[in-house]
């Protein structure tokens, strides 16, 4: 449910309302309105700014858009479908408002169905809305909608239940205005906050105590309490500040190379009978999605005045992404990496060293990602003051999972915009991503979580297969417990000892998943499937042959979902290509060799053959 | 469970020893407990070995790993200790990680602890917030004492809160570190010891992490009600020395 708060005017009030994470902030450019907006300094906001106009011409609207950097327009007069279309083509979201009373003539909607983004239904008055009164919502039940719509007109603090029980598929958002005010244009923060909490149940987002459903929280030694507390108190404040956002967005664009392309794969589409798009996170600087998060966290660490950065890494992608941002910021960097991973991901080890990071091979446990994470946490315990722990996935104690999710959410934000531009649809039918800890997956899902029509698919690494026990498919082989400071699903013995996972992919070779994914798994919002080493290898070679893209082994697991799923011809499918395969060349090379000299298992006799043989020789 | 309370009514410094159950041998826990009591130790912390002990340094990590390889589990330990109260009176507390307890079932564990006569439990990765919100009542129902940690970075108001919640003693972590053997306490540590002493907390305080010698032990006793030794004790086991002998020489080296 999108929230639009309309008719704001005062800078401080706008800043305040923006903290509620509303989707739109509406500014009214209609002179007769008591909430008319003019000549004000506008703050930057997380919410999109939308301009409300009544019968203005194209030039005037466009000038206002430029002046106030609006992202959307809402048209409340007798604007023509042509004008709407012209604005839509100018890269704006266009909401056409209709005044509704008992005599509303729904046929008028059809003229606008291909010229705007959304409809908005408001109570009919002689003054273009703003009456504080509701129209008869029963009318909504009988409308044939061609577009999603916003509900407007007199919605008040007591209406949350009534709105939730409307159950209209195309109701995409609500428009709040006069009933949440202290005075015209001055919104009441507490009233809005309470209402939004009620209407937006935050089903898949973190709650105030740091939990996703029953998963998450902070299960850490008292020794880390202060560090986590410091982060908890500051992360949103810092992340939402204008200066942080400016720098973050600038670096993602100019340093990382975002937006990463959304590439339509004709070859895969033909092969699997769907419209398959590849989100090219592999083209980011350092070769994976990991840099989105490290850029964000390094800016945060700097704001907190930290001097030394530590990180864990599996495949080395997060280690390289961390070493990269540390080099750029001139901060000391120590990366913990399982000794086994150091061996199998040499190119990344060399990169980290060249970038000036100290790579510490971890010899405990299975010498992989889990052990590297343990060691990083121990280092943090030993250096609590000057050190910042830059976690690479949506794991760890609250607030890490939420923080990393937010940094990675840029992926789905872009997917939405790109799909819209390339196909006209904002929503994909399916989104597929691989899950180790789950940061690329949550990044690809984030802005689709509340659109339940979008099917989200997570692919876990199944190693040699679930039945062999040599697997990293956490949801299939695991149960609820505590790992690395949060409550989630993990692979463990009955006695609660964490089990060593196995996967050919160092980045997925992890016995837990982020708590958000445990919640998404448990609620059924995300479908979890598995791909074995072998299936992933085949998928990597297929993409390479068909599209000339060598994916990372982790990503190959997401691609391995394709032959396992059923598609409809016109279905939109996005696969998150989380990283590129340079680091995996040794493994790929070995696979090629094994195909040249395939291993021939000794011929075993079937039961029937046995009996035949026995029959022959023993009369 | 009066044993813990009676312990702190004695007007002398407390020596508490931590050992990892299942190390050096699967069945050594009982013998270690009996010998520690015999040699005049005041309190024993029985470590439940865990695969991923985040707050522990290399020695306890390694001993835990060996213990698990030996076949130790929480179920095995409780079974082994079933009749321990026929042998010793010394207060006994368990120390382990939250996941072990969660998988065993916290209420199930408390019942068994009551049957055996174990007095309390230290779960370093259970913050007081989690205790208060979810488990406080269970602890009270079974009269199991939860022992909380304070560290150099714990703010004063939080220390006061922990003091209020503590039904037995507070575990004062000597410095910002994982467990292990250290050479000396620096000025920062000493200043922190003094600061805590001057807070005049209601709960007795035992200092742990990094105590490896008589000198350390005497030093922490100046500022608190006693000390806890773990890694140094575990390190003192030698292959060729019988457990009995090893324990008596270790304890006498600390507490003459």
Whether residue B35 lies in the annotated active site: no
In contact, A555 and A508? CB cutoff 8 Å: no
Residue A533 and residue A539: Cα distance in Å, rounded? 10
Count Cβ atoms within 10 A of the Cβ of residue A261 and give its class: 0-12 exposed, 13-18 middle, 19 or more buried.
middle
According to DSSP, residue A606 is labeled P
A144 has which bridge partners?
none
Query: What mean pLDDT do residues A140-165 have?
Result: 84
Chain A residue with Cα closest to B102: A481
Domain segments of chain A as ranges = 2-199, 211-249+287-402, 262-283+410-609
- pLDDT of A318 strictly over 50: yes
In contact, B177 and A382? CB cutoff 8 Å: yes
Using an 8 Å CB-CB cutoff, list chain A residues near B154: 222, 225-226
Q: B129: domain range? A: 3-255
Chain B residue with Cα closest to A374: B54
Query: What mean pLDDT do residues A206-225 have?
Result: 94
Query: What mean pLDDT do residues A365-385 have?
Result: 93
pLDDT at A366: 81
Residue B32 and residue B67: Cα distance in Å, rounded? 14
Res. A595 pLDDT band, cuts 50 70 90: confident
Closest-CA residue to A216 (of A226, A198, A228, A227): A228
Q: What is the mean pLDDT of chain B?
A: 95
Using an 8 Å CB-CB cutoff, list chain A residues near B134: none
pLDDT at A130: 65
pLDDT at B173: 95
CB contact under 8 A, A497 and B68: yes
Say which of B51, B124, B158 has its CB closest to residue A497: B51
Mutation target among B106, B153, B159, B170 for the A interface, most CBs of A within 10 A: B153
More confident residue, A17 or B255: A17
In contact, A16 and A189? CB cutoff 8 Å: yes
Say which of A227, A377, A383 has its CB closest to residue B54: A377
Q: How many residues does chain B have?
A: 256
| Residues sharing a CB contact under 8 Å with residue B1, sequence separation 6 or more, in sequence order | B117, B119, B120, B143, B144, B145
* Residues in chain B whose Cβ is within 8 Å of chain A: 50-52, 54-55, 57, 61, 65, 68, 73-75, 97-104, 124-127, 129-130, 148-151, 153-155, 158, 173, 176-178
Token couple for A413: 């934000």
CATH code of the domain occupying A262-283+410-609? 3.40.50.1100
Token couple for A421: 């531009």
Of A221-225, A297-301, A513-517, B10-14, least confident by mean pLDDT is B10-14
Q: Hey, is the C-beta of A421 within 8 angstroms of any chain B C-beta?
A: no
- pLDDT of A619 strictly over 50: no
CB contact under 8 A, B52 and A498: yes
Among candidate residues B35, B37, B42, B45, the one labeled active-site is: B45
Mutation target among B20, B47, B52, B132 for the A interface, most CBs of A within 10 A: B52
Cα A416 to Cα A4, A93, A143, A572: the distances in Å are 19, 13, 27, 12
Count Cβ atoms within 10 A of the Cβ of residue A85 and give its class: 0-12 exposed, 13-18 middle, 19 or more buried.
middle
Token couple for A34: 């008591």
- pLDDT of A146 strictly over 80: no
- pLDDT of A616 strictly over 70: no
Mutation target among A338, A386, A495 for the B interface, most CBs of B within 10 A: A495
Question: Å from A4 to nearest chain B CA?
Answer: 36
Closest-CA residue to A579 (of A490, A496, A529, A506): A506
Using an 8 Å CB-CB cutoff, list chain B residues near A226: 153-155
> A269 preceded by cis ω (within 30°)?
no
Distance of CA B111 to the CA centre of its chain: 20
Query: Tens digits of per-residue pLDDT, B75-105?
Result: 999 999 999 999 999 999 999 999 999 999 9
Res. A453 pLDDT band, cuts 50 70 90: confident
pLDDT at A364: 86
DSSP secondary structure, A400-412, as one string: HHHHHHHHHTHHH
| Residues sharing a CB contact under 8 Å with residue A180, sequence separation 6 or more, in sequence order | A5, A156, A157, A187, A188, A191, A192, A195
In contact, A313 and A360? CB cutoff 8 Å: no
- Beta strands (DSSP E) in A89-212 are 93-100, 118-123, 149-151, 171-176, 181-183, 186-187, 211-212
CB contact under 8 A, A223 and B176: yes
CB contact under 8 A, B68 and A364: no
According to DSSP, residue A601 is labeled P
- pLDDT of A73 strictly over 60: yes
In contact, B230 and B45? CB cutoff 8 Å: yes
pLDDT at A281: 98
Residue A441 and residue B123: Cα distance in Å, rounded? 33
Residue A508 and residue A526: Cα distance in Å, rounded? 18
Question: Percent of chain B at pLDDT above 70?
Answer: 100
Residue B191 and residue B194: Cα distance in Å, rounded? 5
Largest distance between two CA atoms of chain A: 107
- pLDDT of A125 strictly over 90: no
Determine the topology of domain A2-199 in CATH.
TIM Barrel (3.20.20)
Closest-CA residue to A328 (of A362, A286, A370, A361): A286
Token couple for B171: 């575990």
The number of distinct structural domains making up chain B is 1
Q: Hey, is the C-beta of A489 within 8 angstroms of any chain B C-beta?
A: no
pLDDT at A605: 61
Query: What mean pLDDT do residues A372-379 have?
Result: 96
Question: Å from B228 to nearest chain A CA?
Answer: 17
Token couple for A382: 């030993």
Residue A472, phi then psi, degrees to nearest 5:
-125, 20
Closest-CA residue to A462 (of A505, A516, A515): A505
Question: Å from B76 to nearest chain A CA?
Answer: 10
Query: What mean pLDDT do residues A357-382 have?
Result: 93
DSSP secondary structure, B146-214, as one string: E--EE-TTS-HHHHHHHHHH-SS-EEEE-SSS-S-B-S---HHHHHHHHHHHHT--SS-EEEESB--SH
Question: Percent of chain A at pLDDT above 70?
Answer: 95
Query: What mean pLDDT do residues A200-212 have?
Result: 82
Query: What mean pLDDT do residues B159-179 have?
Result: 94
CB contact under 8 A, B178 and A381: yes
CATH code of the domain occupying A211-249+287-402? 3.40.50.1100
CA-angle at A510, arms to A508 and A514, nearest 5°: 95
- pLDDT of A618 strictly over 50: no
In contact, A402 and A206? CB cutoff 8 Å: yes
pLDDT at A388: 98
Say which of A226, A484, A496 has its CB closest to residue B102: A496
Q: What is the CATH number of the domain that holds B181?
A: 3.20.20.70
Say which of B75, B154, B178 has its CB closest to residue A495: B75
Token couple for A268: 């895969």
Closest-CA residue to B244 (of B69, B33, B97, B100): B33
- pLDDT of A533 strictly over 50: yes
Of A255-259, A448-452, A579-583, B60-64, least confident by mean pLDDT is A448-452
DSSP secondary structure, A182-200, as one string: EETTEE-HHHHHHHHHHH-
- pLDDT of A486 strictly over 70: yes
Residue B51 and residue A118: Cα distance in Å, rounded? 54
CB contact under 8 A, B149 and A221: yes
Chain A residue with Cα closest to B61: A364
pLDDT at B3: 93
pLDDT at B172: 97
Q: Hey, is the C-beta of A218 within 8 angstroms of any chain B C-beta?
A: yes
Residue A509 and residue A500: Cα distance in Å, rounded? 9
Residue A243 and residue A196: Cα distance in Å, rounded? 27
Res. A608 pLDDT band, cuts 50 70 90: low
Residue A23 and residue A331: Cα distance in Å, rounded? 36
CB contact under 8 A, B74 and A498: no
Closest-CA residue to A530 (of A603, A470, A613): A470
Closest-CA residue to A556 (of A592, A587, A527): A587
Pairing of strands A72-75, A93-100: parallel
- pLDDT of A168 strictly over 80: no
Token couple for B231: 């890694």
According to DSSP, residue A582 is labeled G
Token couple for A517: 């994914």
CB contact under 8 A, A223 and B98: no
Residue B92, phi then psi, degrees to nearest 5:
-125, 130
Token couple for A448: 């689709």
* H helices, E strands: number in chain B: 13, 9
Task: Return the number of CB contacts < 8 Å for A and B.
Answer: 102
Q: Do domains A211-249+287-402 and A262-283+410-609 have the same CATH topology?
A: yes
State the catalytic residues of A.
Answer: 290, 312, 578
Long-range contacts of A57-66 (CB under 8 A, 24+ apart): A57/A83, A58/A83, A58/A86, A58/A87, A61/A87, A62/A90, A64/A29, A65/A90, A65/A92
Q: What is the mean pLDDT of chain A?
A: 92
pLDDT at A257: 97
Question: Å from A375 to nearest chain B CA?
Answer: 8
pLDDT at B19: 98
For B48, the 3-state DSSP assignment is coil
């Amino acid at each position: 449910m999108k929230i639009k708060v309309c008719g704001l005017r005062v800078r401080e009030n706008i800043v305040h309302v923006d903290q509620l994470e509303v989707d739109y902030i509406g500014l009214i450019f209609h002179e007769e309105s008591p909430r008319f907006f003019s000549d004000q300094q506008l703050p930057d906001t997380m919410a999109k700014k939308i301009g409300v106009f009544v019968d203005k011409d194209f030039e005037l609207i466009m000038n206002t858009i430029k002046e106030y950097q609006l992202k959307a327009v809402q048209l409340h007069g007798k604007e023509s479908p042509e004008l709407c279309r012209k604005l839509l083509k100018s890269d704006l979201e266009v909401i056409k408002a209709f005044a509704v009373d008992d005599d509303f003539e729904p046929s008028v909607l059809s003229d606008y169905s291909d010229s705007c983004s959304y409809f908005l239904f408001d109570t009919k008055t002689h003054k273009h809305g703003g009456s504080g009164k509701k129209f008869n919502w029963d009318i909504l039940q009988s409308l044939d909608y061609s577009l999603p719509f916003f509900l407007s007109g007199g919605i008040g603090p007591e209406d949350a239940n009534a709105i939730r029980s409307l159950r209209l598929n195309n109701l995409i958002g609500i428009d709040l205005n006069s009933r949440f005010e202290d005075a015209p244009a001055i919104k009441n923060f507490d009233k809005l906050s309470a209402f939004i909490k009620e209407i937006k149940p935050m089903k898949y987002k973190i709650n105030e105590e740091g939990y996703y459903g029953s998963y998450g929280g902070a299960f850490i030694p008292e020794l880390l309490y202060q560090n986590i507390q410091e982060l908890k108190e500051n992360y949103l404040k810092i992340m939402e500040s204008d200066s942080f956002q400016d720098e973050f967005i600038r670096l993602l664009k100019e340093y990382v190379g975002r937006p990463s392309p959304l590439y339509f794969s004709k070859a895969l589409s033909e092969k699997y009978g769907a419209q398959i798009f590849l989100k090219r996170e592999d083209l980011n600087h350092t070769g994976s999605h990991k840099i989105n998060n490290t850029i964000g966290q390094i800016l945060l660490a700097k704001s907190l005045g930290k001097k030394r950065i530590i990180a864990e890494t599996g495949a080395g992608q997060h280690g390289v992404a961390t070493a990269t941002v540390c080099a750029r910021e001139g901060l000391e960097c120590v990366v913990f990496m399982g000794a086994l991973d150091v061996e199998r991901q040499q190119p990344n080890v060399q990169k980290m060293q060249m970038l000036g990071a100290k790579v510490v091979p971890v010899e405990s446990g299975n010498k992989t990602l889990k052990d590297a994470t343990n060691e990083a946490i121990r280092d943090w315990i030993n250096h609590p003051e000057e050190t910042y722990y830059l976690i690479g996935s949506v794991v760890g104690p609250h607030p890490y999972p939420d923080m990393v999710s937010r940094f990675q959410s840029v992926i789905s934000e872009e997917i939405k915009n790109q799909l819209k531009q390339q196909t006209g649809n904002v929503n994909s039918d399916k989104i597929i991503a691989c899950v180790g800890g789950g940061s690329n997956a949550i990044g690809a899902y984030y802005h689709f979580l509340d659109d339940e029509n979008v099917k989200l698919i997570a692919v876990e690494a199944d190693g040699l297969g679930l039945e062999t026990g040599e697997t990293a498919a956490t949801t299939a082989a695991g149960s609820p417990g505590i790992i690395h400071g949060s409550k989630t699903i993990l692979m463990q013995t009955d006695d609660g000892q964490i089990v060593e996972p196995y996967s050919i992919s160092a980045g997925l070779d992890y016995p837990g998943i982020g708590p958000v994914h445990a919640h998404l798994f448990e609620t059924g919002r995300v479908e979890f499937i598995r791909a074995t080493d072998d299936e992933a290898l085949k998928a990597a070679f297929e993409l390479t042959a068909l599209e000339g893209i060598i994916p990372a082994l982790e990503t190959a697991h997401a691609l391995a979902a394709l032959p396992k799923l059923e598609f409809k011809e016109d279905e939109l499918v996005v696969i998150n290509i989380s990283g590129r395969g340079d680091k995996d060349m040794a493994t790929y090379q070995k696979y090629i060799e094994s195909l040249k000299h395939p291993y021939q298992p000794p011929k075993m006799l079937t039961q029937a053959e046995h009996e035949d043989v026995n029959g022959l020789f023993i009369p | 469970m009066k044993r813990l309370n009676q312990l702190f009514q004695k007007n002398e410094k407390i020596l508490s020893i931590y050992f990892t159950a299942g190390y050096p041998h699967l069945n050594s826990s009982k013998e270690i407990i009996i010998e520690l009591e015999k040699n005049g130790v005041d309190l024993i912390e029985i470590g439940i070995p865990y695969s991923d002990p985040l707050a522990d340094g290399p020695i306890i990590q390694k001993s835990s790993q060996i213990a698990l390889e030996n076949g130790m589990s929480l179920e095995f330990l409780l079974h082994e200790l079933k009749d321990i109260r026929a042998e010793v009176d010394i207060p006994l507390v368990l120390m382990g990680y939250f996941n072990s307890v969660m998988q065993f079932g916290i209420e199930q564990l408390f019942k068994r602890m009551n049957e055996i006569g174990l007095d309390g439990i230290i779960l370093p990765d259970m913050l007081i917030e989690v205790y208060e919100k979810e488990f406080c009542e269970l602890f009270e129902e079974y009269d199991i004492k939860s022992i909380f940690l304070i560290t150099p970075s714990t703010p004063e108001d939080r220390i006061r809160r922990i003091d209020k919640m503590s039904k037995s003693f507070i575990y004062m972590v000597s410095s910002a570190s994982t467990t292990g053997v250290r050479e000396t306490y620096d000025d920062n540590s000493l200043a922190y010891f003094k600061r805590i002493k001057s807070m005049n907390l209601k709960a007795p305080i035992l200092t742990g992490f990094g105590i490896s010698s008589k000198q350390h032990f005497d030093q922490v006793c100046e500022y608190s009600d006693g000390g806890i030794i773990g890694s140094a004790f575990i390190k003192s086991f030698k292959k060729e020395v019988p457990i009995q002998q090893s324990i008596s020489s270790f304890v006498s080296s600390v507490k003459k």
